[in-house]
Amino acid sequence: MSTPIALIDCNNYYVSCERAFDASLVGVPVIVLSNNDGCAIARSAEAKALGIKMGDPIHHLRDKVRAHGIRVLSSNYTLYGDMQRRVIAACEAFARDHEIYSIDETFLDLAGFEDRDLVAHARAMRKQVQRWTTIPTCVGIAETKTLAKLANAAAKKQSCFDGVADLRDEDVRRDVMQAFPVGDVWGVGGATARKLTDLGITTAGMLCDMPMKQARAVGTVVLERLVAELRNVPSAAVEMVEPQRKGMAVTRSFGTPVTTFDRLMGALTEYAMRAGEKLRSHGLVAARLTAFFHTNRHKPDRPQYAGSRTVTLHPMTNDSLELIAAARRAAERVWRDGYAYTKAGIMLDDLVAADMRPRTLFEDDGDKRARLMGALDEINGRFGRWTAVTASQGFKREWKLRSEMRSPSWTTSISEVPTVRA
DNA sequence: TCTGGGGTCCTAGGACCC
DNA sequence: TCTGGGGTCCTAGGACCC
C-alpha cells in the first residue's frame, strides 16, 4: 500500500486573504482583479452565485457590479504570498513533508500518519489553519496526486464531505469518479475533453477504465500517466526538494499603449531589473534572454505586430545591467515604428546555479558587479522596490500597470499595518 | 476606453553530422 | 517506380496548470 497524500486547497484564496483584514468584505460578493485590473481572477462564493466566471473581463461586469454592490479589488500579491507562509506553517505539524503546488494549494506527504483516522487528522489541520489565518480550506486525501486533486474538488463541491474527502477506499473512489465530469479532472483541458467526449468518455470513472494504449494515442504519455493515477498507481511523488527551475519570465501589459522605442526600453529595463532580482534571489544565472512586445491581440482590426528576439548571454549572468543591455540588443533588432504596443516582457532560459556556471577564459573579475547588485537588492528590499533604479529606467513609468483598488500591505509594510483601537 | 502573469511538459520538424 | 539511416540538438508550438 502506498503512502497517503493530502492536498490542502484554500477556498477563494485571494478573497479570503482580503477578508482576513477587512471584515466589511465578509458575506458580500467580492472579486479580485488580475494585474492591470483587467479581469476577475478570484471570486467569493456570493460572486460565483451571481454567475461571474473566472477570467471575466471587468468591463463586461460593470452592470452586475453596480446592480449587486459587488466589491472589486486589485490584486495584492505581497499580501497573498505572506499569508501563504502562514497557512503552510499551520500545516507543518500535520505532515511529514510538503510540496507547494501553487499559491493556494499544497500537497502533504502523510507517511507516518497512516495509523490515524486521517479524516479527523485533516479536520484538525483545517481548524488550525482557520485559527491562525482565518482562511477556509478543503482537503482531499488519496494515494496519488491526481486522486488527491479529485478528492479535493469533491470535498469542495459536495457538502456531504464537510470539507474533507478521503478516496483511499475503492468503492468510495468509484462512486465519486462516476459522478465527476471528465473535463474537471486535473490535466484534462478543453482540447482533450473534446476528444474524450467524442469517444463517449464523459466521466472520470470512464476515463479510469479507458485502455492505456488508447489513452496514449489520444493524449500521449501525459494522458497515459493520468489514467494510471486514476487507477491508484502513482506516477508522480510529492517532491521534497524544489526541482531546478528551467526558465523565468517578467511580463506585463501596459497601463497605456507604448508607441516609442524609448518608452518600450523604459519598461524592458524595469522588467530586466526585476528578472535580475529574481535570478539572484534563487542563486541562478541565465544563458539566454528573450525580449518580446506586441500589439493588442484582442483588436484584430487594428494594425498588428509582434516582435520577439532571443540573445545568448555569455558569460551566463544574473547581472541586471547585463540583462538590460541584452534586452536592448534584442529589442532593437525587431523594433518597428508605427504600432501601439500593449504588452512586453523578458524571458530567461537555460538557468543554472550561479556557482555551477561555466567560466569563460577571459572573464574579468565580476566581484565589483556582484557587490553592486547585492547593494541594489538590499536597498530595494529595505526601502521598497524601485527606490534605486538605473538612469535608463527613468522615473516616469507611464507604462506602468493599473492597480487602482489595491488593499494595503497589511502584513508586510510597517507603514500599512492595521490600527486597532480598544 | 477596457481582456493577467506566470510556469511545466511533450511533440514535431528542421538543421546538421557521420 | 525508386531518392540511406541513424543520431543529436534546437526551436516552435500545443496543451495544460493556477
- CA→C1' distance for A143 and C13 (Å): 34
pLDDT at A289 over 80: yes
Contact A47, A70 (CB under 8 A): yes
Per-residue pLDDT for A251 more than 70?
Answer: yes
pLDDT band at A2 (very low <50, low <70, confident <90, very high): confident
List residues bridging with A341 in a β-sheet.
Answer: A258, A295
Q: CA-to-C1' distance for A219 and B12, Å?
A: 15
- For nucleotide B9, the protein residue with its alpha carbon nearest to C1' is A222
Planar angle of CA A280, A322, A354, nearest 5 degrees: 35
**What is the rounded distance in angstroms from the CA atom of residue A186 to the CA atom of residue A169?**
20
Mean pLDDT of A266-292: 93
Q: Which has the higher per-residue pLDDT, A284 or A242?
A: A284
- In this prediction, residue A18 has a pLDDT band, given cuts at 50, 70 and 90, of very high
Nucleotide nearest to A13 (CA to C1'): C18
State, as a whole number of angstroms, the distance between the CA of A176 and the C1' of C16.
23
Confidence of residue A394 (pLDDT cuts 50, 70, 90): low
Distance A348 CA to B12 C1' (A): 24
Confidence tier at A407 by pLDDT (50, 70, 90): confident
HEC-encoded secondary structure of A358-404: CCCCCCCCCHHHHHHHHHHHHHHHHHCCCCCCCCCCCCCCCCCCCCC
Q: How much of chain A exceeds pLDDT 90, in percent?
A: 73
**Protein CA at A400 to nucleotide C1' at B2, angstroms:** 16
The pLDDT mean for chain A works out to 90
User: What is the rounded distance in angstroms from the CA atom of residue A276 to the CA atom of residue A294?
Assistant: 22
- The pLDDT score that the predictor gives to residue A415 is 75
User: Is strand B in 7 Å reach of the CB of A222?
Assistant: yes
Q: Which nucleotide is nearest to A34 (CA to C1')?
A: B4
Q: Which nucleotide is nearest to A35 (CA to C1')?
A: B4
Q: Is the CB of A35 under 7 A from strand B?
A: yes
Report if CB A245 to strand B is under 7 Å.
yes
Distance A291 CA to C10 C1' (A): 19
Closest protein CA to C1' of nucleotide B3, residue: A57
Q: How far is the CA of A357 from the C1' of B11 (A)?
A: 29
Nucleotide nearest the Cα atom of A187 (by C1'): C16
The reply to whether the CB atom of residue A247 sits less than 7 A from any atom in nucleic acid chain B is yes
The pLDDT of residue A396 is 55
Question: What is residue A391's predicted lDDT score, i.e. its pLDDT?
Answer: 60
pLDDT in the model for residue A277: 94
- Per-residue pLDDT of A306-326, as tens digits, reads 999 998 888 899 999 999 999
A149: the nucleotide nearest its CA (via C1') is C17
Place of cell 530586466: A272
Residue keyed to cell 493515477? A229
Closest nucleotide relative to residue A347's CA, C1' based: B6
Alpha carbon distances (Å) from A4 to A151, A248, A335? 12, 32, 53
A401 CB inside 7 Å of strand B: yes
pLDDT at A362 (0 to 100): 55
Whether the pTM exceeds 0.85: the reply is yes
State the pLDDT at residue A236. 83
- For A343-375, how does the pLDDT look when each residue is reduced to its tens digit (9 = 90+)? 999 999 999 898 877 666 555 556 777 888 888
Residue closest to B6 C1′ by Cα: A249
**Radius of gyration, CA atoms only, chain A:** 24
For residue A402, pLDDT beyond 90: no
A245, three cell numbers: 527551475
pLDDT at position A212 over 60: yes
Which nucleotide C1' is nearest A195 CA? C15
Q: Which of residues A28 and A388 earns the better pLDDT score?
A: A28
Q: Which has the higher per-residue pLDDT, A262 or A244?
A: A262
Kindly tell me if the per-residue pLDDT of A118 is higher than 80: yes
Name the nucleotide nearest A252; use CA and C1'.
B5
Which positions on strand B lie below 7 Å from a protein C-beta?
1-11
CA–C1' A40–B5 (A)? 13
pLDDT score of A224 more than 60: yes
**Chain C nucleotides covered by protein, CB below 7 Å:** 11-12, 14-18
